[in-house]
Each structure stands twice: as C-alpha cells, then as structure tokens.
Chains A and B, each alone.
Chain A
Amino acid sequence: MSLRYITRFAHYDAKTVEEATALLNKYGEKAKPIAGGTALMDILKKKYLPTPEAIVNLKTIPGLDQVTEDGGAIKIGALTKLVDLAESSVIKSKCPMIADAVNLISSPQLRNMGTVGGNLCQQVRCWYYVKADFFCYRKGGPVCYQPGGDNRYGAILQQKVCNAVIASDLATTFTALNASLKVEGPGGSRDVPIKDFYVTLGNTLKQGEIITWITIPEAPSKGSFKKFKIRKTWDFAVASAAVATTSKGTIAALGGVAPVVVSGTPDEVTSALGSATPLSMNKYKVQIAKTILKEAMA
C-alpha cells in the first residue's frame, strides 16, 4: 500500500500507431508511452527519473495484441500481455521456450498486466539507478557507483561506462531466436534485428518510436530458457540463458550479465564468459552464468 504521490502529467489514449508516435514525437523526451504500466509506475512513484509531462497510452491501439503464425515465422504484437503470450497456442506448440521464459518473469499479477513491448523496453534494475538518491552515469551523472560500491548484482561482461544489467528476460529469449523488431515512428517503419536493438545505456529507439511487432523468423527445432534468481518468484535474473537451434544454426544468449544481451554461437558465448571481467563482489555470477548456459545447451 504505497501512497507515494505521482506528479501530474497529461494522458493521451492513442487510437492508432500514427497518433501514438506523433504524440511521442511532439513531446520528445518529455513523453513516455504506457502499456501494462508495470515498469513505468515504478518510475512515477519512486521518481528516479524525471516524471514525463505526457503519457501516451498504447493499450487503446487495436490489433497489436496478437500472436500469429506467418509461414514459418511467428509474429507477436508488442501489446500482447505476457500472460497471453505464455498461454498462446502458437507459442506453446511452436516455441515453448518463450512460455518458459514468460512464466519466470516477476509474478502472475505483473504478468497479467505487463506487455511484450514493455518487457523489452524496461529500465535496468541496478539498485543505484532506481534510487533518486544516486545520480549515476546512466542518468547523466558523473560516475557509475557499482565499481566502488556494492556490485553483487552488477555486470560481469561488456561493462564500459555502466555496470547495470539488462533486466528483460524476453530480450534474452528473442535474441536466441534471432527475432527482428518492427519499429514504427514519425519517420515510418523499420525492422531492427534484436541483437542490434540494445546499447549500453538503453536501446536504439529514436524520438517518437515504438516497437509494434516482434517477428521470430523460424521456430526452433530445439530451444531452452534458464534463469537463475535469488528467489524463485518475483525476482530478476542473476543470470539468464537462452539457446535456440534452427536451420541457420544455434544461437546462445545471456541476460543479467551485461548492460546488453550477450549473444553468439554457444562457443562464442562460452568463450566470452571465460574472459569475463567481474567486479569486486560478483565473480560468483560468472560461475552461475556458465552453469545455466550449460543447462540451456543440454
């Protein structure tokens, strides 16, 4: 029962993708889209990022909550609720590793609200970043607090300027599945391979852009998602691993270990872990990541 006050903002119910992207473009940095709201509400309440002046509701856009088969591909609307994704007959029959991943996200209540697009675009959960008391590099401050602070949950690979780890389990899963994201914005639409979507400090969405569809080009003949967390439910990954095999080969992906998803062939990812650069307190994450990667490849 948190009663934390939420600062005022304008609220728009977008009826179409065009309307949503126009509004987001108009407000620029001062607008945020909302779908399930499970991640955005946390920001609005804890105020660790500036409260947007406008919130654009995407749930009122029809048609983006479908999961369909398109030839050999699977298309997932970005507004699909996580619970519906896990229960989709297409997912269950063609790509059950996605259902496995969804069922390990957060809690049933949050899966009932959260959407696929929201999960992919959620903020990192670094405990310095999500507190208003710390003005860290990721928020525009001078320094990342993790190297000199408590970094037990921090990155062990590809740290660069920020040691937060990507929190989205679907990002890991879809990377292993070689997904592409349909991104629509004021400049039209473009397809982005998911492995190019994430960058150290966030993602490559431009002003006014939203994800509308996720396409998995080929259902895997074999696929697996594993997640290690401190608590069995309602927890983010200490490390997650997704491995999928299609006619094009096998892709392995790791979440929770770097600011972005770490992916490649199983050999490449295993080798990356072999040359991991853990911080002072999180060498154990290397061991855990190696173990669950092996489990996912088994």
Chain B
Amino acid sequence: MGKRFVGDLTQFKDKMAQYGYSGLRYFGQRVDDVNGPGIVTGTIGWTFNVSLPGMLVGKLKRNPYGHAKITSIDTSKAERISGVVFVGTAKHPMFAGKLMFGDEPVLCDKEVWSNNDPVAIVAAETLEAAEDALDAIDVKYEELPVEMDPEAAASPSPSVVQKSPPPNKQGRPNCFTYVPLIYGDLDKEMAASDVTVEMNPELPPDPHGTPAPMSAVAVWNGDGSISVWDDVQNIHAVPWPTVAGMVGLAQEMVHFHGPEVCAGGFGGKNAGIAGVYAAMLTIITHRPARVLYDRTEGLLHVSRPNWKWKIKIGAKKDGTLTAIQATAYIGGPYGRFLGGLLERARNGITGSYRWKAVKYDGYASYTNAQNTLSYRGYSSPETCYAVELAIDELAKKLGMDNLDLRLKNYLNEGERNAMNEIFRSMGEPGVAKKIREFMDAWGPKPSVPDPWVVGRGFSGGNKYTQGTMITNTAHLKFKGNGTVEIITDSMDLGTGLNTVWRQFVAEGLNIPIEKTVKLEVNTDYAPFTTCSYSSMATFHGGYALVNATMNAKKLLFANAAPILKAKPEDLETKDGKIMVKGKPEGAIPWSQAFPAIPGQPGPAEELMVSGGIYAPDDYQGPGKMDPATSQCLGPYFRSVLFHSHQANAAEVFVNKETGEVRVNKWAGGCDLIPANPTNVEGQLEGGSLVMGLGTTLTEARWQDKGMYLGKSYLDWKIPTVMDIPKVDNVDTALVPVWGEAHGDNPRIDAPFGAKGTAEGVQAPTAPCIANAVADAIGVRLTTIPFTPDVILKALGKA
C-alpha cells in the first residue's frame, strides 16, 4: 500500500467543541461502511429490488438515428400481442407533455433529435410481451442532417438550425444559453503580459456508466395518489416535483421513495425520469408498473456533453498571472442542465487563481449529441482541464517550476476572487504541496526500456459546492431504548453518506454508532435536508444533524438539570446517559429527561428534535449577481457556498511504438477535515484515479452521424483492475482545512469542519495525466481520451 496521509485533527478540537464535538470518538474515524453487509448480500434496498404483486413491465421504444423526422408510428400490431396491456405514443394526452425545461418531449412524435429518444411506450404482463411489442411497433423515419459539434452549432450561421423557433441567443440560432464573465481590463492585462499560452482543449461526451441502470416502480393508490420508488440521487429537488408535475398531481399526492443506496449516480440519476414513465403507466393502467432501463439504455440515456474550449492565459515574467480569456462550447439535444454547467464553469476559472482580468463566454447550443445530465463535478473537471493544461504550458514557457507558479497565484482565504466573491475554505496550497511532496518522494524517474518513455505530471483542481435549492432540515427521533433514528432525505450513492451521517449523530450525542439508524428516504416524513449532488450532502446534511444534536442536548440538559440538581451547562452526555461533567456515578438515562406528558406519571416514550439551517441561502446575501458580467454585488454575496480543492500527481509510461499509456504511480489529495478518512480515500481512488483515468485514457462516446457505436461496456471502455496502478503505487492525502469563515461573514461554518469532496476529486485527474503524457512524449495533447491512435498520431506514426 502506498502512502496514506491524514492530517492531524487535534488542532481543530477546540473549534469542534463549539459544534458539539465529543472528542473524535466517531468523527474523523475509519468507521466501517454500514452498507457493507447489505451490499455484499444483495439485501440492501436497491430500487430495482422493489417488486409489487401484479406489476407491469414498462419499456420504451427508442429512436436509432441521430436526427430524424418521424413520418409514421403504427402501434396496431403491438396492441394485439398477448400480454400487452397498454401501448402509448405522444398522441395520448399523458405523453404529450415536455420534460425538464420544456423542450424535451416525453415521447417524440414529429422529430427525434438524438439517438435513444423515446417514441413509444409499452406496458405488458411480462418482459417478453413488452419486448415483442417494442419489436412490433413500426416507426418510419426520414433521416435528417446532424450537427454533433457544439462549436459549429453555436455559429451565427449554422448548417442545421435545430429547433423552431430558434432560441437565437447572441445572434446564434441554435444557442439557448449564453453565460459571460467579465472582470478587469482583458486587453490591457493581456497586452501587459510577458508570456501567453493559447490552446483548444476538448473533452468528448462520456456517459456516467452507473453500476445499476435507472429503474423506477410506481403504484396507483385507491385514493388517487401514487407511490413511486425511483433510483435517484435526490428526491425533493428534482424527481418529486418532476414526476408530480408531469402526471398532473399535487406533490402531496405523490409518495416518493428513494433507494437505501443509489447504485451509483455521478449526476446521472438527478432527474429520475424513469419514475415519470412508471408513474404515467400506473395512472393509466391502475396497475403497479416498473420501468427498468437495460444496459444499453443505461449508457445512452445521459452523458457528459462534449466540451470545446478556446483558452488564452497570460503572465508576467515573474510568474504573476495576468489575464485569462476562455470560451466554452457545449451542446445537447435538449436544454437539461447545460445552462447551469456554463454558469458553474465560471467558478472553475475563478476557483483557484488570482486573475487581474477575466473574459469568459459560454455557449450552450442544440446539437444531435447524446442527451446530457449533470456529470461528476458539473463543469469543474472540464474547466480545470482547460485551465490546468494552460498553466502547465505557461510554467514551461516561463521556465518556472509548475508548483511554484501555482503557489504564487493561488487565492488566499478571505480574498475576493474574479467574481468578487469572498473566497472560503481555501486549502489548495496545502494539498498541492503535499501531493508534490509525495511525487518528489518517488525519487528520480525510473529508466525504462525503449520504446517506453516516462513522464510526470501534476495538476491542481477546484470544485465549488452550491447551496441553492435547499431547505436544510433533519429530524432525530430519540427512542426510550437509547437508539436515535435519523430522518433526512438525500441518498448514499455508494459514497458512504449513510455511514457519515450516523457518525455525525454519534459524535454529536456521544453515543455508539450502533445506536443510530438512518430511516428510509421518502417524501412522506423526511424533511428536505439536502441533495446528493454538488458534493453538498456531507456539509448541509451534516450541519443539520449536528445542529439537531445540539438542540437535543439543550432540551435534554434543561429537563435533566432539576433531576441532577445541577445547571444545564454543567451537564454532559455519554452513551445515552446524562451526568454532571466528570461524575458518571449519578448519571440518568436520556429517557428520564424526555419531556413530561401532562397528567401522566412518567416522561414521553420518544423525543423528536429537529435541526438545520433554515435560511441556507444567507450565504448569498445581501447582494446579487450582475448577469452581464457575473460579478457578485454587495458585501457578502457569493455564487457558491465554498470551494474544495484537489491535487494529483502521476507518473506515466508511454510506449512510442504502440501508443499505450500506463499510469505507473499516482498520488491524489483533497482539502478537508474528513468525516471518515476511509470513505474519502475511496473517493480519491475510485473517483479521481479510476474514473478519471478512464475518461482520460479510454472512454469516449464514438458515433456515426449521431448513431452511437459504443452501446455496451465492451465498446465503452471503463478501466478494469488491470488498467490502474498497483496499490503500492497509489498515495492519498487528506489535508485539513477549517471550513469556518472568518472576517466579514460569520455565518458560514461547517459541521465539525467537514466538507464534501466526491465530485471534485476528478477535477485534477485528466489535466494531471495530460501533463504527464506531454512530459513523456514532448508533445502537448489537448483532446482526451489519449487512445493509442491519438498518441501515435502525435508522434507522427499514424
């Protein structure tokens, strides 16, 4: 095993105590994942294990073309197949609506914009009957020209105008979202630069490849309400209102259930669209219905969009960064979250470095590429890829050490960045130095036999965490037997959230973790705590839970004080007992301090306590953002809650005759106080190294005229255990940074100093490997993935 650095947390002890810290008994500890046995035995509450008597099988007929006009849909043969209960097209009023942002048909009837667009739906007694019906539906298409290039699509005179009427943002017919960022005097700063670097980095679409495909089950209840089980990352923010809105029910008439563990999300399960179809089928048929995407649908239904960058950065001779000009083009068949991606790219550009001038233009346009959804990092990895490649080249041009260049230009905690935000939770210098220290400890580059060459690369990275769309509440139910039930929403995506939230409660209440239970996530009783996206759940949910434990202790100590003949502030709790500090002999159980019920001899059987930040958007105010410049106005306004920071180092071997790239050594780190170091290391190894290595070296979404060719895990090549460095060559570092703000906005803090990192870990990986490959072969490659053909072409051998 390689190096495992976990920063010393004891320096934060006093600060933690303010938040109810109980002595690092569970927080910051390597607590085993509570999901382990359930995952290993298959008994965990996956959505695809939900099965109801009489359940119908719902399947979607999908379009094979990249772009086509639908000339006819004949479902008559399918309707006559034995076992088929329902066949629907957009002619049925239930399926005539538009999804998400109103530009995406539930079922297409006139035109399809993307391979995999649904055109018909079937509900049948068996999968066999449903598949027969799909085969029997006769759809006639007339192929139309495709535009796959987001830059060409954004042209003022594109070859294909996708939608009518054209959205026409910035005089560009296909462009539906334009996002600018203007700071300082770009021309002046660029002109005053001694050195500039220009490049056009590109990242192709890459699907999420969730371990379990999307699935949902819905059942119509006798009272007109429906219950929905959907394999989603969040319930309150998107899937619940989406399902309710699409079937025309009030939200309280939709009982929405999340999975015990969402079997991989990576952003691809934020919308829960399978639940929309299942809900529609159960309302039509009054039978329970399941919609389960197969592996091909699982790979095709969403992806990261194609990102094309044009970037130029400048610096003074001494390495002081001056200006950055960056243009981003992204595209997809429907708007989805693409506009948000462009907005968040601003945070990537301004989230590490001090710039004197910034000009950023982001264009999202309609193309016939695969449909998109948020993808791990939601623009942070893609933006850091462009910026960090340019920084690496700049260091070479300046003849500076690439770490020294970065350290010279990193923002300071509390400094205002190029969006005029007060910068918070800045741990990047510490992480960068630690990872560089690991790389230096590898010693000199090894000698390898010809035709292999060795290269080393380094990159930093940043990831914002948003705070909007949250009403941050958690409930704790104290039982007379000493257990505490955690009632929240937000899903464990395999990240360990179910464990970490129990650690927060165990730490806050000073009880064994076994005495805590997290209940099912549903809309019937769970409050809107937070969402498992934007790496926010640890922070927001953790805060609400810690806050709830503090509220509970306040209440319990007030009730216990007269019994223990002491002041509430002189009391403490341990293992479900309350006692005067340092005097365990007189302890009483919690249950004696539950509130009394009038007219009853003893206290109540249970105690319910809530906690949370009830106005979490307060980090944004007072103030607003100028949409023309993306400058935050007002003293405290910030577009993000905090940034997390990461760094990677890699040693690669490149074979100059075959183009093979092997990552031999790797180090990755992030800046946080880890709630559970093992979980964070898991994110670094799985999310940064393996997922990042895949997207950099082997994964891509090859297509021919919009028809996708990699429709299986054979052609879409995620790395296997044989493709990653051996475990002895993998170093990780968790570098503490206290997330509490200081200075002029005292309301920002973090639960025990913890923050999330699951997405950001991928931010430095692709640029780090790209920098290492450039070091090895002496040629700068800018378009991932670096497959053998790309390497050999760069070397003039193909």
A residues within 8 Å of B by Cβ?
Answer: 1-5, 125, 127-128, 131, 133-134, 145, 149-150, 152, 228, 230-236, 238, 281-284, 286-288, 291-292
Contacts and interface: CB of A to CB of B under 8 A. Distances in A.
A284 B792 CA distance: 6
B711 interface: yes
Contact of B657 (A4, A235, A291): A291
Contacts of B295: 1-2
Nearest to B292: A3
| Best-buried of A2, A127, A228, A281 by chain B (most CB within 10 Å) | A127
Contacts of B719: 231
Contacts of A131: 709, 711
B714 A234 contact: yes
24 contacts: A1-B213, A3-B292, A5-B131, A128-B704, A145-B704, A149-B704, A152-B702, A152-B787, A230-B788, A231-B698, A231-B717, A232-B720, A233-B720, A233-B723, A234-B720, A236-B714, A238-B788, A283-B798, A284-B789, A287-B659, A287-B792, A287-B798, A288-B657, A291-B451
A5 B124 CA distance: 13
B707 interface: yes
Contact of B710 (A127, A235, A282): A127
A287 B660 CA distance: 12
B798 A284 contact: yes
B787 A230 contact: yes
Contacts of B714: 125, 234-236
B723 A232 contact: yes
Interface in B655-672: 657-660
Nearest to B710: A127
A149 B66 CA distance: 14
Nearest to B211: A1
Given A236-B714, A284-B793, 6 more contacts: A1-B295, A5-B132, A149-B705, A150-B704, A235-B714, A282-B789
Interface of B: 48, 64, 127-128, 130-132, 212-213, 292, 294-295, 451, 657-660, 698, 702-705, 707, 709-711, 714-715, 717, 719-720, 722-723, 787-789, 792-793, 797-798
Nearest to A151: B704
A236 B714 CA distance: 9
Nearest to B659: A284
Contacts of A282: 789
Nearest to A292: B658
Main SS of the interface on chain B?
A: loop
A238 B660 CA distance: 12
Nearest to A239: B658
A231 B797 CA distance: 21
A232 B722 contact: yes
Contacts of B659: 284, 287-288
Contact of B717 (A1, A3, A235, A283): A235
Contact of A233 (B127, B722, B787): B722
Given A150-B704, A233-B722, A234-B720, A288 B131 contact: no
* A contact face: mostly helix, strand, loop, or mixed: loop
A235 B712 CA distance: 12
B717 A5 contact: no
A133 B657 contact: no
Nearest to B657: A291
Nearest to B791: A284
A284 B797 contact: yes
A4 B711 CA distance: 14
B148 to A, nearest CB: 12
Contacts of B715: 127
Nearest to A125: B714
Closest 3 CB pairs of A and B: A284-B798, A5-B131, A232-B722
A150 B703 contact: yes
A263 B158 CA distance: 49
B660 A228 contact: yes
Nearest to A294: B657
Contacts of A230: 698, 717, 787-788
A214 B798 CA distance: 38
Contacts of B711: 131
A281 B793 CA distance: 10
A282 B790 CA distance: 10
B353 to A, nearest CB: 35
Contact of B127 (A5, A145, A286): A5
B294 A3 contact: yes
A133 B66 CA distance: 12
A125 B714 CA distance: 10
A228 B658 contact: yes
B582 to A, nearest CB: 56
A20 B706 CA distance: 44
Contacts of B788: 228, 230, 238, 284, 288
Contacts of A128: 704, 709
Name which of B710, B788, B793 has the most chain A CB atoms within 10 A of its CB: B788
A133 B296 CA distance: 13
Contacts of A228: 658, 660, 788
B705 to A, nearest CB: 8
B720 A231 contact: yes
Interface centre among A231, A234, A238 (most CB of B within 10 A): A231
Contacts of A235: 714, 717
A262 B519 CA distance: 62
B196 to A, nearest CB: 33
Contacts of B798: 283-284, 286-287
Contacts of A232: 720, 722-723
A287 B720 contact: no
Contact of A281 (B64, B127, B660, B789): B789
A267 B130 CA distance: 56
B127 A3 contact: yes
Nearest to B655: A291
Contacts of B710: 127
Nearest to A127: B709
A180 B705 CA distance: 43
Contacts of A149: 704-705
B797 A287 contact: yes
Given A235-B714, A284-B793, A284-B798, A133 B707 contact: yes
Contacts of A286: 798
Contacts of A281: 789
Nearest to B212: A1
B722 A2 contact: no
A288 B658 contact: yes
A286 B659 CA distance: 12
A129 to B, nearest CB: 11
A281 B64 CA distance: 24
B787 A150 contact: no
A288 B792 CA distance: 9
A127 B703 CA distance: 10
Contacts of A284: 659, 788-789, 792-793, 797-798
Contact of B789 (A1, A127, A152, A234): A152
Contacts of A231: 698, 717, 719-720, 722-723
B448 to A, nearest CB: 15
B149 to A, nearest CB: 15
Nearest to A152: B789
B278 to A, nearest CB: 15
Contacts of B793: 284
Contacts of B787: 152, 230
A125 B710 CA distance: 12
A150 B658 contact: no
A10 B601 CA distance: 75
Contacts of B707: 133-134
Nearest to B715: A127
Contacts of B797: 284, 287
Nearest to A235: B717
Contacts of B792: 284, 287-288
B128 A150 contact: no
Nearest to B707: A133
Contacts of B127: 3, 5
Given A231-B723, A235-B714, A284-B788, A2 B698 contact: no
